[in-house]
Amino acid sequence: MRITDVDVVVTCPGRNFVTVRITTDEGVTGVGDATLNGRELAVASYLRDHLAAQLVGRDPLRTDDTWHYLYRGAYWRRGPVTMTAIAGVDTALWDIKGKVAGLPVYQLLGGRARDGVTVYGHASGDTVEAAVEDAARFLDEGYRAVRVQSAIPGLESTYGIGGVSTAGTHAYEPADAAVPTENVWDTEAYLDHTPRLFEAVRRELGPLPRLLHDVHHRLTPNEAARLGKELEPFHLTWLEDPVPAELQDGYRHLRQHTTTPIATGEVFSSIYDCELLIRERLIDYIRTTVVHAGGITHLRRIFDLAALYDVRSGSHGATDLSPVCLAAALHVDTAIPNFGLQEYMQHTPETDAVFPHSYHFEDGMLHVGEEPGLGVDIDLEKAAEYPYQPASLPVNRLRDGTMFHW
Ligand code: GCO
Ligand code: MG
């Protein structure tokens, strides 16, 4: 069997997605997500202009060999653009492999290790009361875990709140303008507010729901240590991205000061970004996922390393990862021994229509379908109705105008 075509589809059913579609001489096709929020066209060009011609003629079933061919062949290894492009190809090849074998991909990864994939939703609110109410709504809908973010008094915008749509649709899209929107940040206001938020959430929702919070890389190690300590009485499942991801020594400081579990990894693109954090057990959950960490082939290697050290998976699943990535992540989640939690933000109906899929939500879990491959596709006609729209992620400044982390 040979690869005959590698097509790259860019579509914007509410937000931009890049999809790799690989066709073989036997007519089998596979899809892979290659979306890198705010930098979509760089990956599309990498695929179209650099990889497509190298892939035509190759055996699609040689997934591992192709992965190394693309990784080593780049010479300029790693980095989000390269690894997202490799991920798109790798995911499409696993889809083809499943279809050729007549098996859902999770079967090829070792088979079912659990009944379903426990997910967490995103609760948010303009006030603490609204955030508590939103979290309660998720629990009513059957979710067992909720991430909670709320607006910070005195700040006009806060990460995780607002955007195109929030409560009501469970959707949230930060990339809203061609030129980045500028937000204002105040660490003291945030550190003062966040323990109060979780005090209220626990008081109203009781001790059992699993609670999470995303700091989005905004604290110094010592500030994060203070927050982790103050949140200890509220027993979070995890505190996410407390410090900038490139500041790995910061995690050691944090670990020495708090028992609040730590999760990180959504911006990591390879095993080398998290190897130290895993080996030294500085984190509890590794949040890499298929599309930004080199596809199913490489993600599996990361999770296998993590399993040796009792670190669990917690894959990123924001809506800027397409349903193709989500489907692929669910196959991995279903099969690995050290699954922790999967993030789940519902895509819009327009996005779901462009990417028909068989996974479904039930009883707080997502369930993969049983058809061969990934169980997801792209509707090319519908995709063509939504041309690319330039959109960037926001930037953040301190009150005095200093550039900060978004
Ligand atoms: C999350 C993430 C997202 C990112 C987004 C950037 O935990 O879901 O932090 O909300 O901000 O994926 O493109
Ligand atoms: Mg996050």
Q: CATH number, domain at 296?
A: 3.20.20.120
Tell me the percentage of the chain whose pLDDT exceeds 90.
94
Q: What is the pLDDT of residues 90-139, one digit of tens each?
A: 999 999 999 999 999 999 999 999 999 999 999 999 999 999 999 999 99
Q: How far does residue 214's CA lie from ligand 2's centre (Å)?
A: 5
Residue with CA nearest ligand 1 atom 13: 37
> Would residue 380 count as lying in a domain?
no
Tell whether 49 and 133 lie within a shared domain.
no
Among 193, 216, 316, 347, the active-site one is 216
Tell whether 158 and 265 lie within a shared domain.
yes
pLDDT at 173: 82
Residue with CA nearest ligand 1 atom 4: 318
> Would residue 395 count as lying in a domain?
no
pTM for this predicted structure: 0.97
| Residue segments in the chain with a per-residue pLDDT below the cut of 50 | 163-168
pLDDT at 26: 98
Q: In terms of DSSP H, where are the helices of 10-156?
A: 40-45, 52-55, 63-73, 80-101, 105-108, 128-140
* Ligand nearest, relative to CA of residue 406: 1
Which residues lie closer than 8 Å to 364 by C-beta, 6 or more apart? 118, 119, 142, 143, 144, 145
* Atom number of ligand 1 nearest to Cα 240: 7
Closest CA to 217 of 41, 86, 393, 34: 393
Q: How far does residue 58's CA lie from ligand 1's centre (Å)?
A: 35
DSSP 233: G
pLDDT at 166: 40
* Atom number of ligand 1 nearest to Cα 175: 13
Residue with CA nearest ligand 1 atom 1: 318
> Would residue 255 count as lying in a domain?
yes
Which residues lie closer than 8 Å to 374 by C-beta, 6 or more apart? 30, 31, 91, 94, 95, 98, 104, 105, 324, 327, 328, 331
75: domain CATH number is 3.30.390.10
Round to whole Å and give the CA distance between 51 and 214.
35
Among 143, 159, 285, 386, the active-site one is 159
* Residue in 157, 216, 319, 343 to alter for ligand 1 test, most ligand atoms within 8 A of Cβ: 216
Q: Look up the domain containing 156 and give its range.
A: 108-371
pLDDT at 170: 56
Tell whether 148 and 74 lie within a shared domain.
no
Q: How far does residue 171's CA lie from ligand 2's centre (Å)?
A: 14
| Ligand 1, CB cutoff 6 Å, lining residues | 37, 174, 214, 216, 266, 316, 318, 320, 343, 393
* 8 A C-beta contact, residue 222 and residue 250: no
Interface predicted TM-score (ipTM) = 0.99
Q: How far does residue 318's CA lie from ligand 1's centre (Å)?
A: 5
Last residue of one domain, picked from the residues 69, 84, 104: 104
* Residue in 316, 321, 395 to alter for ligand 1 test, most ligand atoms within 8 A of Cβ: 316
pLDDT at 158: 86
* 8 A C-beta contact, residue 88 and residue 32: yes
Q: How far does residue 299's CA lie from ligand 2's centre (Å)?
A: 18
Count of domains for the chain: 2
Tell whether 133 and 231 lie within a shared domain.
yes
Last residue of one domain, picked from the residues 104, 124, 148: 104
Closest CA to 217 of 238, 241, 233: 241
User: Which phi and psi (to 5°) does residue 378 adopt?
Assistant: -115, 130
pLDDT at 169: 55
**Catalytic site residue 344?**
no
> Would residue 351 count as lying in a domain?
yes
**Catalytic site residue 172?**
no
- Residues in a beta bridge with 263: 240, 285
Tell whether 97 and 134 lie within a shared domain.
no
Tell whether 219 and 272 lie within a shared domain.
yes
Q: What is the pLDDT of residues 315-328, one digit of tens each?
A: 999 999 999 999 99
pLDDT at 171: 61
* Ligand nearest, relative to CA of residue 175: 1
